[in-house]
């Protein structure tokens, strides 16, 4: 989004905002996204699997991963995107939902954690941690797949 459009609170041409309930539905239908966080070596964006639990997103990561060290207590963003069925096959759409917030180490008390929530397994001997992200700051947009995010000069629809 251009700085001008963001400052004026409007959506750039070619993009439509997505409601919070549609964002939540999108998150429920997917189980993988890009986690953006700040590590000791700068900004990182890593593909992670996630599961929903009540009002949190849970991500199981190996303890040796930077995420386990740097994400808890810091602001992170999980972005989940993909293609959406469109009314017109010649105009495919992309939907992107972002969840931003302060990550925390999930301890089971504040966020229920059980192995059945995750579609992945880890080899024996690999210690893992579960990082929790509250579902308090959701945002989402749909845009034509053939438009670039900053391509505001074309008629999108």
pTM: 0.76
Please count the residues of the chain. 157
Q: What is the pLDDT of residue 70?
A: 95
Within a domain: 2: no
Question: How is residue 147 written in tokens?
Answer: 């438009």
Long-range CB contacts (< 8 A, 24+ apart) of 24-30?
24/135, 24/138, 26/80, 26/95, 26/97, 26/140, 27/52, 27/57, 27/80, 27/97, 27/99, 27/135, 28/52, 30/80, 30/82
Q: What is the pLDDT of residue 90?
A: 58
State the residue range of the domain holding 45. 15-144
Give the model confidence (pLDDT) of 9-18 as tens digits.
555 667 788 8
Q: Does residue 74 lie in a domain region?
A: yes
- Banded pLDDT at 92 (limits 50, 70, 90): low
Q: What is the CATH number of the domain that holds 84?
A: 2.30.110.10
98 falls within a domain = yes
Domain count, the chain: 1
Q: Which pLDDT tens digit goes with each residue over 100-119?
A: 999 999 865 444 455 456 76
């Amino acid at each position: 989004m251009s700085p001008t459009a963001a400052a004026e609170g409007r959506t750039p041409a070619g993009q439509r905002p997505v409601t919070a309930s549609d964002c939540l539905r999108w998150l429920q239908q997917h189980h993988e996204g890009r986690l953006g966080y700040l590590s000791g070596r700068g900004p990182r964006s890593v593909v992670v699997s996630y599961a929903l639990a009540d009002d949190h997103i849970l991500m199981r990561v190996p303890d040796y991963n930077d995420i386990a060290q740097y994400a808890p207590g810091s602001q992170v963003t999980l972005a989940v995107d993909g293609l959406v069925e469109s009314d017109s096959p010649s105009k495919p759409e992309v939907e992107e939902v972002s969840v931003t917030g302060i990550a925390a180490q999930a301890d089971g008390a504040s966020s229920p954690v059980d192995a059945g929530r995750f579609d992945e397994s880890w080899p024996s001997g690999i210690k893992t941690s579960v990082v929790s992200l509250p579902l308090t700051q959701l945002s989402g947009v749909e845009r034509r797949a053939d438009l670039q995010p900053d391509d505001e000069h074309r008629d999108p629809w």
